[in-house]
Each structure stands twice: as structure tokens, then as C-alpha cells.
Chains A and B, each alone.
Chain A
Amino acid sequence: MAEALISIKRVHKEYKVEKGANVNALNGVTLDIEKNEFVCVVGPSGCGKTTLLNIIAGLETFDSGSVSMHGQPIVGPAPERGVIFQQYALFPWMTVRKNIEYGLKFIRKPVQVEQTDASGKKEIVTVMQKFTTEEKRRLSDHYIKMVNLSGFENSFPKALSGGMKQRVAIARGYALNPEVLLMDEPFGALDAQTRAQLQEDLLKTWEKEKKTVFFITHDVDEAVLLASKVVIMSARPGQIKEIVDIDLPYPRTQATKLEEGFIRYKNYVWDTVYKMYLEIPK
């Protein structure tokens, strides 16, 4: 079997909290994320789902095990793994456009150029080049349009609603064209209507671009609606309880939630999550 896009093997991670009391955040987590998959992780708070995302992002270290992408160990953050944070993380001093274009300054694109070597022979070589100002502008225009924010290019984040801010963050994530998007409860702080709208938008974008998504949520409905694969995690110690393939056809919309298949999956996942919740000593 071919190597998965991201391969997580027996990852352990402990947090030291006051005087010797350790929290076992991740206890031997093993998970493969295949290319073009939409993976949703659900679980009670404290199950280590955010820790897992941060480890994949390269923002956190772990104690043992291995995490690799394309077979290469992940040693730190890189633009090939875009992250979308619950708190949006927009730079408040940059306009919407500047926020989207900022990350592009770190990206190089391959360009074919003709070169003449010492003997006068011409050859085509590929060099990595920065994006020009016009290219950045074209890209930001494209992604601003994708998230329906045309007209807000020059607004500062403070003038935007929560939903609009998250749209900017999503546009910014897509503009860098990462191989995988890591989304940490991106819609958690939004009201129900905005959340429903952004879920549909995200589905549409994913169905079109088939970019691999690793999405964390505590909302079972959201997980089953979006995911091709739902990972259920349990808390203390944080580990994977079950992986459920969601065999519902795409395209999906909010109407999918009314279908029998959806309800069956939802009940199943919810039962598993809720049983674990009841088992946690409180």
C-alpha cells in the first residue's frame, strides 16, 4: 500500500502541569490521512484533538512516535500545511487583501527560463521565483471572490463580522495553496446561520478543489456533514476510539442532514461520543 499523505504513528504527548501531575494528552495515536480526504476529528474537550492538529502543523513537539508527510518527518511549520484557527488570527494592521497576500511572500513558484551555459548551449531550467505584485494581486482577487468578500478588499479586520473574518482566514489559507488544510474548530465561534453557510461554502470548495482537509470540531452534525472520514477521540488519555468512514455521496448540502443515511451516521457517532462523555469522572 502506498504511503499516506500524512502518517501519524504511535504518537505520545504528555503535558506537565503543576508538581508532577502529568496530563496524557495523546496516548499512542496512529492515523493516516490520505490525499483528498476530508477528515473530521470529534471528541470531548481534553481529548487532545487540538494537540494532534498542532503536531501535524509542526507547532508543537511530541514525546515519542512519528509524524510524517510524504514519508518525510514533520519538524516544524511549513506552508504546505495551512492552518485555520478558531480565533481567525488575522493581522489587525493589515487590510483583507494584505492579510491574504502576506503569506505569499514566503512562497516560491517554479518558473521555466532559458539559460545559456558557458559553451553557448541553450537549455531550459526551472528556477523558483517569488510572486510578483501583480500575481499576488490576481491571487488575492481570486480568493476574495471565492469567499464572497468582494468590496471588502481594503477593510481592516476590525470592521468585519466573525463570519467574514473567518472567510478571510479561509481565503488566506487557500491562497497559499497548501497540500493540506488544518482547521481547528474554525466555525466554533460563529452563530448557527453563519456556520451553516460557511459549511456549505467549504463543502463546495472542497468538492471542487479536493484539497485534503483535517478538520477539528466538537459538533457531531458538522463532522458527519463535512467528512469523508470521522475520527472519534476519547479523553484522558487522549486516544483514537474509532474511525468511521462516512459513505454519503458528495455533493452535500444542509439538506443532506435530512437524509436517513446522515441521521444514521450522526446517531452512531453521537452515541459513541456521548457514552465516552458519561464515562469521564466529573
Chain B
Amino acid sequence: MTSTQTQPVSFADFVRQRQRDLLRFAMVLVGGDAQRAGDIVGDVLTNAYEVWDRIGAVDHPYAYVRRMIVNEYLSWRGRLRRTTLRGDLEPYIGSVADVAGEHAVRAELISRLRTLPRQQRAAVALRYFEDLPHADIADILGCNVGTARSHISRALATLRVAMTEES
């Protein structure tokens, strides 16, 4: 017989393996502000460490920590951490105006993405970057599935993206 119980992952291993994924996700959430993305992930990992005995034992620690990142992003706690002395990277914002030609579409989308309310932006990131189903998005955002769909629908309208997948 083999045990189906998952071996708890250590915090060190988790950080080593998934930090980059978390940063990429946070980067999408914050619309390309590398400084903020780094701060959010750093703060979330800080908090996660404190309760890692619990997080490390769940089936999908990444999903758990990703939810923490969404919560941090949606809360005001991250506001004060927008400026920081150490290694804060120039926001990606600066390069948007420089792109042209084939990149113009992306520049426009990024620009519009930044105008989205936080809930909508989070919903878009979870749907189109993390490829989560609506039910999971609703669970993470703490709303019902209809509301999650509504967030995405309104976001796509603002982004001027045709809802090919949603229709």
C-alpha cells in the first residue's frame, strides 16, 4: 500500500521553486509595477512563513499563497509599502510609451488594464494569466460565481477584449 498523503513542502523549497511564479502573478495584478509586485510578494512570504506548518501541509501551497497575494493586493495594507528604499525597480510603466508597431496593442491593453478597479484586475489576472475557472476565481475573491463573471465581463469591456471564451 502506498500513502496518498502529500509530503509537506518546506518553506525554503517552496520559495526556491515558486517565488518567481508568485512574482509574475503579482506583476500582472499590479499592472507592471515591479516595485509593488516585489513588495507584495515579500510581505506575503513573510506572513506565510509564520504559519508555514499549516500552509506547507495543504495540497496546493501555491494556490494558498496566491490567494494571500490577491488579498494583500486588494487590501490597503500594501499601500504604505509602495515606496521602499531597497532595490525598488523602475516600474514597467516607463517602457509602455516607447513601444510601437506590433507592440501597440499590448501597450494599449496594459494602459487600460491599469484603469481597472482592483477586483476586476484581480479577476482578469486569475482568469487569463492563471487560467482559473470562474468558480475558483469566485472563491479567491470571496464572491459568488456570477459576481466573478461580472467582474471579468466588465473588465473585458473596458479592455475592449471580445469575450470569445466567455460567450
A and B pair up: no
Give A contacts to B, CB under 8 Å: none
